[in-house]
Chain A
């Protein structure tokens, strides 16, 4: 019974962690280069929407995820245009884009697509890895997931390697720490930041797509319900390190999975307060456990030649 509870909890936690982790890795890459995306939520929402729309139009899961990437990229492009071309404050641009994406996706859902998008669509299938999936407790959680979740898991060491061991990673860090110095070394700060922003948009789009195409199978207005902000918090709580972000995402997901299990098991706690739990844990984690935070020096500061 206890082992069962734990195994089911972990399955739910890893499933919930997938979209958060992908978006958090994107945001980590972008923040490393000095670009903050308050509209991470909007990028995920756009990906969640366009993923479902793509699935409805093509009935093909790969094309649906391509559409999700497109949705995230579109929001990233608007952020880049506002901040890099028109020197808008990154936080103002991000807040504005969140409102715009929420309105646009709701509008398209209600008026252009009718009730279609709330229909269930093709979903990405789980692939059980032989033998490993049979490991007690953790087997189902880690080795019976869909391909996107597997890629997200691989993305953590990959992001670490990219940031710490490649010239591109060095350019990203330089653009985020000392853009003037980077420019004097021949690094094109604007191009590097565009690249980081595009990676973030694509990944957040996939994260949003995974939310609808991997789990729910349909789209509702505001379906991301603050997950983009939790991913933002995970980057901070993970101290701008890939494995830190993973740990933060897992913490939030385990709490979220626990509150869902607690609801179904009928814990003597009102479900409304359980639903609020992951958000409270995020606040407490940021307030209590972060001892020394050091964001990239030029985070949120536009570079002007």
Chain B
């Protein structure tokens, strides 16, 4: 209940105004940071704009960088709406990437849509399995899913490294990766001379599916009931433990899909470190998007643009781009939290003064002490 009250929008102001204001403030803060390291913020933002939105290729870079964060964030939001914290999306992305690669490497060359379809299915299953482990531990052992889902990130990263450095290693290669996949196994480019691939379409489908699942199905109703009040849901006949298990698996499935899109669509091969903290930034994307698929699409595009734009920075040293995304992500969610806190205080004060006015009208000023009861 408390989680939802804090992170989910209850009014238009909460849904749109607060996040937009928070993003503007966060970008202003990034500008100050850029000034501190001696960059001209106007020039920096100019080149960031050029590299993220300036032409079709830049735009496609933004979308491509938004997609993994978007898809993983959808899963994280589904979990949060059931009151669960899937902090381990990064690991589920890695498992998805590894599973998709395994299909490509072991299956024969088949006509186009078959291999990507099989690979994506494998990735979804692998991500779901990796998310189901903390789900099961939470449901039946009472272990906090925050810690276990995160520990599994480190395990997944090591599994990916092992696959790349031992069974799939290319002798003499300087950086661990597989050979590039054949075009039969990749997600095709949609617009020539850009990076835009079929993964973007899959992401949109995933967003619609997430919305439909949570807001339009019986399962989604039960899911939200568990997020609102697990005890009461139990009395209503919802099997809460199975629900926790299923939701964490679904949450992981989205992240697994994100991993397969990154491997099959963007990289065209499995490469060490192919997810650069996408799964962690996706948590911020989910929160900034206020857990709604539409908001999540917006937040993911913002972070995608920042990532694409950061690479266009003149002063960019290695690693600045991704760190700017993380700073902007952290700051914008932080400002959202502050904004919601302020909003809540105002709402309370208004309610208190209305109650006070009410009491004064009916009982005279003497009874005004009763207003404290009505305020909360």
Contact = CB atoms under 8 A, between A and B. Distances in A.
Chain A partners chain B: yes
A221 B323 CA distance: 10
Size class of the A contact interface (CB-based, 8 Å): 35 or more
A279 interface: yes
B147 A236 contact: yes
Contact of A287 (B141, B284, B329): B141
B85 A91 contact: yes
A280 B344 CA distance: 41
Nearest to A233: B147
B37 A112 contact: yes
Nearest to A95: B283
Interface string B317-335: 1111011111111110110
Interface of B is mostly: helix
Contacts of B36: 112
B326 A283 contact: no
A275 B158 contact: yes
Contact of B277 (A38, A97, A102, A233): A102
Interface in B314-367: 315, 317-320, 322-331, 333-334, 337-338, 340-342, 344
Contacts of A273: 158-159, 162
B326 A103 contact: yes
Contacts of A225: 154
A74 to B, nearest CB: 13
Contacts of B133: 283
Contact of A106 (B85, B141, B323, B337): B323
Interface in B139-172: 141-144, 146-148, 150-155, 158-159, 161-162, 165-166
Contact of B151 (A96, A279, A290): A279
B148 A92 contact: no
Contacts of B147: 229, 232-233, 236, 282, 286
B280 interface: yes
Contacts of B340: 86, 88
B233 to A, nearest CB: 20
Interface string B270-285: 0000000100110110
B146 A272 contact: no
B243 interface: no
A283 B148 contact: yes
B341 A38 contact: no
Interface in A63-114: 78, 82, 85-89, 91-93, 95-104, 106-107, 109-112
Interface in A227-284: 229-230, 232-233, 236, 270, 272-273, 275-276, 279-280, 282-283
Contact of B341 (A88, A110, A283, A293): A88
B315 A111 contact: yes
A239 to B, nearest CB: 13
Contacts of A98: 280
Nearest to A81: B338
A128 interface: no
B341 A86 contact: yes
Given A111-B317, A279-B154, A38 B3 contact: no
Contacts of A293: 142
B6 interface: yes
Given A100-B327, A301-B2, A236 B151 contact: no
Interface in A123-170: none
B62 to A, nearest CB: 19
A276 B327 contact: no
Nearest to B162: A272
Contacts of A275: 154, 158
A107 B320 CA distance: 6
Nearest to B142: A293
Given A95-B87, A110-B323, A290 B143 contact: yes
A270 to B, nearest CB: 5
A125 to B, nearest CB: 31
A226 interface: yes
Contact of B166 (A95, A270, A279): A270
Given A92-B333, A272-B165, A286-B141, 18 more contacts: A38-B146, A86-B342, A88-B6, A98-B280, A99-B280, A99-B333, A100-B329, A102-B326, A104-B330, A107-B327, A111-B317, A226-B151, A229-B151, A276-B155, A280-B155, A283-B148, A286-B143, A287-B141
14 contacts: A86-B342, A95-B284, A96-B330, A97-B330, A98-B280, A103-B322, A103-B325, A103-B326, A111-B317, A111-B320, A283-B133, A283-B137, A286-B144, A290-B141
What 10 pairs between A and B have smallest CB-CB spacing? Answer: A86-B341, A100-B330, A103-B326, A272-B162, A103-B327, A106-B323, A88-B337, A276-B158, A107-B323, A89-B6
